[in-house]
Amino acid sequence: MSFKEKFREGIISAKDFSREDIDYILKKAKEMVQNKKNSELLKGKILATLFFEPSTRTRLSFESAMHRLGGRIIGFHSGDVSSAKKGESIADTIRTVENYSDGIVIRHNLEGSARLASKFAKIPIVNAGSGSGEHPTQALLDLLTITEEGRKLDGLNIGIMGDLKFGRTVHSLSILLSNYDVNIYFISPKELMMRNRDKDFLRQRQAKYKEIEKYRDILNILDVLYITRIQKERFADVEEYDRVKNIYVFTKKDLKETKDDFKIMHPLPRVTEISPDIDDSPKAIYFKQTYYGVPMRKAILAELLSD
Ligand code: NCD
């Protein structure tokens, strides 16, 4: 089955991807990196971007990708300006918007929202963040960044640090990585460890991972450290957030302990977890990740929406 056929209903979860699927979309995205010229591939197509939660990179890079492929955009950037504010369900919103567009990109605070949307839609749905659940297109662009910045996925030693409980990008990233021969170090305080259901899945896939609390112990063996923000908006208790919010702050001093070709990544937005004085280091590639968002999303939209 081709990628296009397999993902006819859209990009919902990293779990749906085999190694072959990932390699295929990485290849397509690399072609988009090579060929920066705008095209008319999606001329006449309309993409709806339904963002019920805040976004800078994900929404704008999807919209930029659609424009660069000659398509058009409709949508909203907050649940407050849509009929969700009046109490409309996701199902009803989707059954409406599918009449106005050829594909839907959705970000919603409900875990499982994208899967739910895809049950009601006859057009492809792209999960742009489903609560604390998943963010598969971010994980795909993360893999594109790693490989474009000169790394093979097999053999990679990667630290994934921060809010591993609520952070959706790290769920999708570790699931995608479980298709490769990778050593993962999950670094978090006890209360923000990967959830059991995520670890169960990784174990089933026989992924190699360790859970630790202190990153300094392993800095010298890592090829990549992927840092994430503590997800303030997901905490039920503000005091609990305050206790952990500054638990990790990666500094210039830490950078000295790393290998020459070490890379530091972050899906952004960053709050305090990476000190800005390392932004100019060639080891800091988090703004490159933002750059690779567009070619990856062009590749995805081309697969899902072209005739
Ligand atoms: C992330 C998200 O929304 O999950 N941002 C992104 O899409 N690049 C990360 C975050 O909010 O911490």
41 CA → ligand 1 middle, Å = 28
Across the range 69-87, mean pLDDT stands at 95
pLDDT at position 175 is 98
Q: What is the pLDDT of residue 166?
A: 97
* Atom from ligand 1 closest to the CA of residue 267: 8
Pocket test for ligand 1, best of 58, 234, 245, 296 (most atoms within 8 A of CB): 58
The residue from 59, 77, 115, 135 that is catalytic is 135
What per-residue confidence (pLDDT) applies to 226? 98
Would you say the pTM of this structure is higher than 0.95? Answer: yes
Q: Of the residues 55, 130, 135, which should be mutated to test ligand 1's pocket, given the most ligand atoms within 8 Å of the CB? A: 135
Structural domain boundaries in the chain: 3-134+293-305, 150-284
Whether 3-134+293-305 and 150-284 share one fold: the answer is: yes
Rounded to an integer, the average pLDDT of 120-127 is 98
pLDDT in tens, 258-294: 999 999 999 999 999 999 999 999 999 999 999 999 9
Average pLDDT, the chain: 97
* Residue located nearest, by CA, to atom 11 of ligand 1: 269
- Does domain 3-134+293-305 fall under CATH 3.40.50.1370? My reply is yes
Q: What pLDDT band is residue 113 in, cutting at 50, 70 and 90? A: very high
Q: What is the DSSP string of the chain?
A: --HHHHTTTEE--GGG--HHHHHHHHHHHHHHHH--S---TTTT-EEEEEESS--SHHHHHHHHHHHHTT-EEEEES-GGGSGGGGT--HHHHHHHHTTT-SEEEEEESSTTHHHHHHHH-SS-EEEEEETTTB-HHHHHHHHHHHHHTT--STT-EEEEES-TTT-HHHHHHHHHHTTS--EEEEE--GGGSPPHHHHHHHHHTT-EEEEES-SGGGGGG-SEEEE----GGG-S-HHHHHHHTTS--B-HHHHTTS-TT-EEE--S--SSSB-GGGTTSTTB-HHHHHHHHHHHHHHHHHHHH--
In tens, the pLDDT along 5-32 reads 999 999 999 999 999 999 999 999 999 9
Confidence (pLDDT) at 30: 98
pLDDT at 20: 98
150-284 folds as Rossmann fold (3.40.50)
Ligand 1 first shell, C-beta below 6 A: 57-58, 129, 135, 138, 168-169, 228-229, 267-269
